[in-house]
Amino acid sequence: MDVLNGLVALANFVLVPAIAYGSQLALGALGVTLVYGILRFSNFAHGDSMAFGTLVVVLFTALFQSMGISLGPLPTALLAIPFGIAGAALLILGTDRLVYRFYRAQRVKPVILVIVSIGVMFVYEGLIRFIIGTGEQRFADGERFIISAREFKQMTGLREGLALKTTQGLTVVTAVIVVALLFWFLNRTRTGKSMRAFSDNEDLALLSGINPERVVMVTWLIVAALATVAGVLYGLDKSFKPFVYFQLLLPIFASAIVGGLGNPLGAIAGGFVVAFSEVGITYAWKKVLVYLMPEPLEPSGLVQLLSTDYKFAVSFVILLIVLLFRPTGLFKGKAV
Amino acid sequence: MTQHARTASFFALILVLIVGTGFVQSWNTALLILNMGLVSAVMALGVNLQWGFAGLFNVGVMGFVALGGLAAVLVSMPPVGEAWAAGGLRIVLALVLGAATITAAILAYARVPATWRGWAIAAILIVGFFVYRAVFDPGVAAVEKINPAATGYLGGLGLPVLLAWPMGGVLAAGAAWVIGKTALGLRSDYLAIATLGIAEIIIAVMKNEDWLARGVKNVIGLPRPLPYEIDLQNDPGFVERAAGLGLDPTTASTLYVKLGYGVYFAIVLVILLVLAQLALNSPWGRMMRAIRDNETAARAMGKNVTRRHLEIFILGSAVCGMAGAMMTTLDSQLTPGSYQPLRYTFLIWVMVIVGGSGNNFGAVLGGFLIWFLWVQVEPLGVALMSVITAGMAEDSGLRTHLLDSVQHMRLLTMGLILLIVLRFYPRGLLPEK
């Protein structure tokens, strides 16, 4: 029984949150990695692109709620996602037309594009704060739990409960669908193949008649969709706050680099590596260990390796280790 | 227009802007802008050393600025004797143990044969971590228990605060050495992400380790290199001289203190600027630019690129650390919660890019100009918004929203300025020769 209790506690406090967080990071990292693969720069404005997409969803959710439209047990925000993607796509494509295209034509060094994206980041950040302010927005509605801790305890008779939030379930399901769609698109469709060709070898791709502007446009559209979905899932799970989304940039980049920049599979793996380490290292393991260890060895302290404020530190230590010992990431990424 | 005339006219513009602020708003505001402008200019000089001279993309400026602030506390605050007695030595011992663990792991990486290497390093790190925590945690608990409302930390050395400025540079340089040793081999965008993360880690440590500098409880009331306003107002000689200038004692005392800081900061800036100019035009500076422009060629000429990069990374970070210590001295408080990358990293980058990277005067100009705009965009925005919303009803929701959002216009403006300068003046307002 103790072992079962321990495992349930582990699942409840570590596995479930880490899987949900990992899926959100993976979606974000996919966006970063696609930009890196096709446009060949690290997009510092990605966190704010996520925030902008989510912002549009928050506004539309409020609109739908005021009109009395809802999805029953599911969050209304799901209905608003297409509008969020459209909003983010408009913003990002507009940015590309006004800003990035000029530098692409000049074939500037990637680091210049990074600086440009810092400018874009400022503008987005200002825009977002201008529209919605810096406060926290909660926009999750519908059923809160798939299984609540109490129900689980009653069902199984265990002392530990396993709570599964609707948003966590939704995150995983949505992430799986989105990733499946993305890989189907990249591997099976003509446009997807031309994107991969462009990413592998730009000159050869141009030579074989691939239209670069089209590839770039499709990439930005996908990035807008991925950013919005990732942002909405994170916001439903926790809450929407512009500054937090800006800070998400760090673990997202860590995920993308750990997996290998430019490699979509790597981005997903990286997302989970970062999420599991963050949750694992900042979790107080006492609760789990009390069940799993024999009585005399039971820990007296919290067995928390580092306090939760250090979660950014965790992703960066992983990042540094990977960069130092395997500079192209776990899966082979590319180096521009 | 020649380069000199261009430089002179831009600096004249800054002078006009600041003096204009003095006449239109108040001299206190003008001096505030001037002082933080001086600090910003020092930070921009540091970033310009790294980016403009050597092409190193360091977006961890915030971390070094914060370390400088930490140095100000560690140097100038009086030591807390009780806390040292309770757990100070324990903490020092734990830190030594931690450093020893890491050194041992690095040695193991170099010395142990490959088959055992992974296990040896893992064993050293795990055992070392638990030993460290076992020594460290009781010490921290003891220190933080001593009068947590007022101290709860080890305190500083109780030395004059001006000493903290070079010490801030030294502390930042030490951190930069460690970071540079590990991260400088990375390609530009990887280095950017790594430094961004390291800056976050530095802030996390400062927020969290209450024994060091009280964390988010903030250290306030740092000693000042200048007299307090209230003492000046009670000094009959000062009041008399103020009256002679036609000023009331309160205004005169605030102006006196701010001007004093301005003079101190200006001295530092001028010294650093002269040094940076000498460095830029020395053989060393030419070598740096050669490495920046073509690393492979410089390497082929026998230049030790890694070493030169490490040198300039440390120098630039030290300058940023010094600026951080100056800023904390000016504020008389250290508030780790207020360090945000947009303000302390990316804004400094905007200054350097807008001013002109590779040109020391450009960086200084950018520091003043961008800081002036950062401060003044808000009142300008309020004025603009009042004009826009003038026709709207008093109680309209849009009007209140627009007026409330004015404070966010500065980010938008900074972004637009950066994008416009990058597009139309890619080399900045004062380009490199």
- Between B218 and A285, name the one with better pLDDT: B218
At A146 the three-state DSSP class reads strand
Q: Could you read off the pLDDT of B261-300 as tens digits, one per residue?
A: 999 999 999 999 999 999 999 999 999 999 999 999 999 9
**Inter-chain touch A122–B57, beta carbons under 8 Å:** no
Please name which of A313, A312, A314, A315 lies closest in space to residue A254, comparing C-alpha atoms: A315
A335 touches chain B (CB under 8 A): yes
8-state DSSP, A1: -
Cβ-Cβ contacts under 8 Å between A and B: the total is 132
> What are the start-end ranges of the H helices in B282-340?
283-293, 295-300, 305-331
8-state DSSP, B163: G
Domains in chain B with CATH codes: 3-79+155-424 (1.10.3470)
Q: Which of B419, B420, B421, B423 to mutate to test binding with chain A, by most A CBs within 10 Å of its CB? A: B419
Q: Which residues of B touch A121 (CB under 8 A)?
A: 346, 415
State the amino acid at position B252 in one-letter form: A
Q: Could you read off the pLDDT of B30-69 as tens digits, one per residue?
A: 999 999 999 999 999 999 999 999 999 999 999 999 999 9
Q: Which residues of A touch B194 (CB under 8 A)?
A: 316, 319-320, 323
Domains in chain A with CATH codes: 2-325 (1.10.3470)
Check residue A308 and give its pLDDT. 76
A321 touches chain B (CB under 8 A): no
Percent of chain B with pLDDT over 70: 100
Q: Which residues of B touch A244 (CB under 8 A)?
A: none
Q: Could you read off the pLDDT of B114-165 as tens digits, one per residue?
A: 888 888 999 999 999 989 989 998 999 899 888 888 888 998 899 999 999 9
Cα angle B94, B98, B101; round to 5: 135
A116 touches chain B (CB under 8 A): yes
> What are the start-end ranges of the H helices in B77-187?
81-83, 89-111, 114-145, 164-183
Q: H/E element holding A147? A: strand A145-147
Residue B353: C-alpha distances to residues A42, A107, B196, B322 (Å): 18, 19, 18, 21
Interface confidence: ipTM more than 0.95: no
Q: Could you read off the pLDDT of B10-27 as tens digits, one per residue?
A: 999 999 999 999 999 999
Q: Which residues of A touch B341 (CB under 8 A)?
A: 246
Q: Which residues of A touch B412 (CB under 8 A)?
A: 122-123, 126-127, 130
Q: How far apart are CA B29 and CA B350, in angstroms?
A: 23
pLDDT at residue B169 tops 50: yes
At A210 the three-state DSSP class reads coil
Check residue A293 and give its pLDDT. 75
A246 touches chain B (CB under 8 A): yes
Can you state the angle between helices B360-388 and B397-404, rounded to 10 degrees? 160
Give the sign of the dihedral formed by CA A14, CA A15, CA A17, CA A18: positive
pLDDT band at B1 (very low <50, low <70, confident <90, very high): low
> Which tokens hold the place of B319?
């300058």
Q: What is the pLDDT along chain A (336 residues), one digit of tens a residue?
A: 778 888 888 888 899 999 999 999 999 999 999 999 999 899 999 999 999 999 999 999 999 999 988 888 889 999 999 999 999 999 999 999 999 999 999 999 889 999 999 999 999 999 999 898 888 989 888 888 888 888 888 888 888 888 899 999 999 999 999 999 999 999 999 999 999 999 988 889 999 999 999 999 999 999 999 999 999 999 999 999 998 998 899 899 999 989 888 889 999 999 999 999 999 888 888 778 878 777 666 666 777 777 777 887 888 788 878 877 787 788 876 654
Nearest to A319 among B194, B207, B413 (CB): B194
